[in-house]
Amino acid sequence: MIYLDSCVLIYRLEGVAELRSRVAEAMRGAAGEDFCISDLVRLESLVGPIRDRDAQRKAVFEALFRTFRRLGLTRAVFDLAAELRATHRLRTPDALHAACAMVHGCRQLWTNDRRLAVVEDRLPTRVLP
């Protein structure tokens, strides 16, 4: 399983052509993997379409979300996120993304945030693009 950070999905749908292409290529290269998201990814990805009152763009994101496995933000995720924040000084959303991937046994986290590389010893992190 590969956990996708919000930025990866936003790049996939809304990034400049080069970013869209890189993310699409990376996803094709991992064909056969289960791509996973959490409701935090959904929240962060929908901010732009909701703010812009763009129902069509929101629907495109919603359709994309349905193609991924959804992982729960459980108490264990929040407990580990607190530990990650305390030990690595991550922001709360970043700690939650990493903790969610770890608790659910993802083999990799894809993001564009180099700061998440601090968890590399516990969860391989691929920074895209």
* Dihedral Cα 58, 5, 126, 3, nearest 10 deg: -100
Domain positions in the chain are 2-127
- Is the alpha carbon torsion for 75, 80, 83, 84 positive or negative? negative
pTM: 0.92
What number of residues does the chain have? 129
Instruction: Give domain 2-127's CATH architecture.
Output: 3-Layer(aba) Sandwich (3.40)
- Is the alpha carbon torsion for 48, 101, 110, 60 positive or negative? negative
CA distance linking residue 45 with residue 90, whole number of Å: 20
> pLDDT tens-digit profile of 74-119?
999 999 999 999 999 999 999 999 999 999 999 999 998 889 999 9
